[in-house]
Amino acid sequence: MNDHWTDRLSEYLDDELDGAERLELESHLATCEGCAATLAELRRVVGRAQALDDRGPARDLWPGIATRIGSSTDELASRRVRRRISFTVPQLVAASIALIAVSAGIARLASKQPARSASVPVPTSGSMGQPAMFEKADSSADIAVDQLRLALAEGQRTGRLSPTTVYKLEHSLAVIDSAIAEGRRALMLDPQSAYLNHHLADTMRHKLEFLREANRIATARS
């Protein structure tokens, strides 16, 4: 894979290349299977990340509040411009995991290795009728886990990671997934529990931090 174009695939995706560069990259893509495959993979990841919901509130409460505290329309507009965008914890987890997946894809781009299958399957948590946001987090996490598999296989191939380390990482991922599965089962029994919702989100945060760290270690250069 070409180093120069590897670094510029995301610019291409974002339509930030000028016309000549774009043509040159497209010409390169026609002859480089590696770049073409990774670009397709990045497109899928970005597509999924973009598909994450950014829902507004079901009802805008501000007009009523503004009336009661005497804010003017201008102030209202100004406040709306400055409005802090906030997400629920599960939304943040979902978005973060999606970003991890993108980062992992970019890290693999940087490692200049073509995609290959992992030799050892890694268990992932499945959908159990949980809220859509958790399912989206799952979907994004699956991408990140796939990237981790590739990175682990590559780390093992280069000797950077020993088979024992790879086994321990996979075991730890299984431990987190088992905890997530237990959290989901508990949440099905008591969907309104603030503790269980928070605990599940927190365990998923563990997973995303684990994936981030494991990917970093597996793709870093000595």
Partner 1 sequence: MLLVLVAVARLALAQDTDTTFAVRQGQRLDVSDFGGSVVIKSWRQNAVRVRATHGSRDYVTIATDGPTVRISASSRHGPAMVDYEILAPPWIPLSVSGTPSAEVTIEGTEAEVTVETVEGSIRVVGGRGNISLKSVEGEVTLEGANGHIELNTVDGSISVTDCSGDIAAETVDGEITLLGIESADVDASSVDGSIEYDGTIKDAGRYRFESHDGSVSVSIPEQANATISVATFSGDFDSSFPVTIKDKQKHRFTFTLGTGTARLELESFDGSINLRRPGQVHDQNDEE
Alpha-carbon distances of 166 from 116, 215, 217, rounded to whole Å: 16, 12, 11
Q: How far is the CB of 211 from partner 1 (least distance, A)?
A: 11
Q: Which is nearer to partner 1, 105 or 183 (CB)?
A: 183
The contacts of residue 95 (CB under 8 Å, 6+ apart) are 49, 52, 87
Q: Which is nearer to partner 1, 104 or 196 (CB)?
A: 196
- Residue 87 phi/psi, 5° resolution? -130, 160
* Interacting residues with partner 1 (CB under 8 A): 159-162, 164-165, 168-169, 171-172, 175-176, 179, 182-183, 186, 190, 193-196, 199, 202-203, 206, 209-210, 213-214, 217, 220, 222
CA distance 93 to 122: 20
Q: Which is nearer to partner 1, 61 or 194 (CB)?
A: 194
Q: Which is nearer to partner 1, 73 or 222 (CB)?
A: 222
Q: How far is the CB of 158 from partner 1 (least distance, A)?
A: 10
Q: How far is the CB of 153 from partner 1 (least distance, A)?
A: 15
Q: Which is nearer to partner 1, 118 or 218 (CB)?
A: 218
Q: How far is the CB of 99 from partner 1 (least distance, A)?
A: 20
The contacts of residue 207 (CB under 8 Å, 6+ apart) are 97, 141, 173, 176, 177, 180
Q: Which is nearer to partner 1, 51 or 175 (CB)?
A: 175
Nearest alpha-carbon partner for 169 in 184, 148, 188: 148
Nearest alpha-carbon partner for 93 in 164, 18, 178, 198: 198
Q: How far is the CB of 171 from partner 1 (least distance, A)?
A: 7
Nearest alpha-carbon partner for 141 in 79, 95, 110: 95
Q: How far is the CB of 208 from partner 1 (least distance, A)?
A: 12
